[in-house]
Amino acid sequence: MSEVAAALPVDEALPAPKLFALGLQHVLVMYAGAVAVPLIVGRALKLAPEDVALLISADLFCCGLVTLIQSFGLTRWFGIQLPVMMGVTFASVSPMLAIAGANPGVQGAQLLFGSIIGAGIVALIIAPGISRLLRYFPPVVTGTIIAVIGITLMRVGINWIFGNPVGPTAPSLVDPAHSQWLAAIGAPGSGLPPVLTIPKGLALLPTLPNPKYADLAGAGIAGLVLVVILLVNKFSRGFLANVSVLLGIVVGAVVAAATGLMNFDKVGKAGWFELVLPFHFGMPLFDPLLILTMSLVMIVVMIESTGMFLALGEMTGTPVSRADLARGLRTDGLGTLIGGIFNTFPYTSFSQNVGLVAVTGVRSRFVCVAGGAILVVLGLLPKLAALVESLPTVVLGGAGLVMFGMIVATGVRILGQVDFKTNRNNALVVAVSVGFGLIPLIAPNFKQWMPHALHPLIESGILLTSVAAVLLNLFFNGASADESHAVQAAKEAEA
């Protein structure tokens, strides 16, 4: 960073046992959030369980690799050399789900990873100029975007508990007798049955309640996970409180296994060690609009990263210059590029770990270097990924309510800095932007008469909110030359 870097607390060398213990602590704090995104996206792509497990391994491996680059440094171009743990950003989930929903299967994975690689290259190019965009992201914009990220993801958590709107866990099913009748008359050599043989009340739309939807046993396990998380937060402090979500998932998994909802067949079949290889799903496909969509997400992500880096600089007593910011943001882009190559997702600094630095008071970046090395090793263990993939969705749902709800709460906290009393236009910015963000959630087919080429840009409520909030704030408030409020809002961002 500078000539005085050697005297800074971030360069403190710790004994190996302490380094390992503190690094493992950072890994445990981020683990639940790190594995959530590959589970969400892999299942949205309708990939086979072994492919979802591969996404988890690839994610852990890349989390570790990018953490090593960010914390240790790589040449003079990459790595802010602060105690930073890197993980997949939740801000990218909504557009990735839109891509997966429109293109399930292997081809969808190729399109998705092509868009991520393209966005990583764009982020590498624009990284030095991102800090100049802070003026366009005051608290009224940042808080609104982060709140909508949480609201959008809450749908995923709720569906994890009760069941997805379509598929085996849909709320209603087609009457089996009616579907059998339709299959019989469509069989080769079958004639049209007499009119009297048509089942009474024939309906080929779902009309019967599905016993697999909102199953009370599953909802009970999700509730147990939620209660464990709340109790740990109520009666513990420090490290235990920071890993409350992980502890809740562990308790839920034990109960699910004891009640027969979780089995370990896939864990038994998985290998003990396997390298993570690039382009598992074939060569990526590059769609310009999908790349643009993910690039817009990366701009929002890098604005938040800027705040994280500045907050860490203050916590560790380390001056952070524009050149340092450029190295850190360039690593966000490099990490995203690496993610696309190795079948995973866009990367940013994990705010939970920024908070852990404040809680423990340990400011050495080598703790996160150790954490990165641990993550790389975990990514090479297929049995661990298969175990995570085997978790019933109800277990994840109880934790999802907390993880995604906390993102909403962060947005609300940032909005608490906004002057709504003397500037009523700020309320309009929030109101209209949130409204735009909810359109894809409430009316997912709103785009059916619009040009198909526009669909990737408007399928994500997060992108609609981001564009609306930035433009409305410019219209009502202009772009302030004072970046201090925007910096403070970015520091508090935990999405």
- pLDDT tens figures, 100-120: 888 888 999 999 999 999 999
Rounded to 5 degrees, φ, ψ at 462 are -65, -45
Residue type, 88: V
Residue appearing with tokens 């690094």: 23
Rounded to 5 degrees, φ, ψ at 38 are -60, -30
CA distance 334 to 247: 32
Which structural domain range is residue 374 located in? 12-169+208-492
Q: What is the pLDDT of residue 9?
A: 78
Residue 223 located in a structural domain: yes
Q: What is the pLDDT of residue 413?
A: 87
For 403-424, b/e burial (b = at least 16 CB within 10 A) is bbebbbebbebbbeebeeeeee
pLDDT tens sequence across 154-165: 887 888 788 766
Model's pTM, two decimal places? 0.78
CA distance 151 to 244: 21
Q: Nearest to residue 26, comparing CAs of 68, 76, 80?
A: 68
Domain total of the chain:
1
Q: What is the pLDDT of residue 111?
A: 94
Q: CB of 385 within 8 A of CB of 53? A: yes
Residue 355 located in a structural domain: yes
CA distance 63 to 88: 8
Q: Can you list the residues of the chain whose pLDDT is less than 70?
A: 1-7, 164-214, 351-356, 358-360, 480-495
Q: What is the pLDDT of residue 3?
A: 46
CA distance 63 to 376: 7
Q: What is the pLDDT of residue 373?
A: 93
Residue 188 located in a structural domain: no
Diameter of the chain by CA atoms?
A: 91
Q: What is the pLDDT of residue 61?
A: 94
Q: What is the pLDDT of residue 1?
A: 46
Residue appearing with tokens 């290998």: 271
Q: What is the pLDDT of residue 495?
A: 41
Rounded to 5 degrees, φ, ψ at 13 are -90, 125
Q: What is the pLDDT of residue 261?
A: 80
Q: What is the pLDDT of residue 342?
A: 94
Q: What is the pLDDT of residue 114?
A: 95
Q: CB of 322 within 8 A of CB of 36? A: no
Q: CB of 36 within 8 A of CB of 400? A: yes
Residue 2 located in a structural domain: no
CA distance 417 to 419: 7
DSSP state of 208: E
Residue 176 located in a structural domain: no
Residue 6 located in a structural domain: no
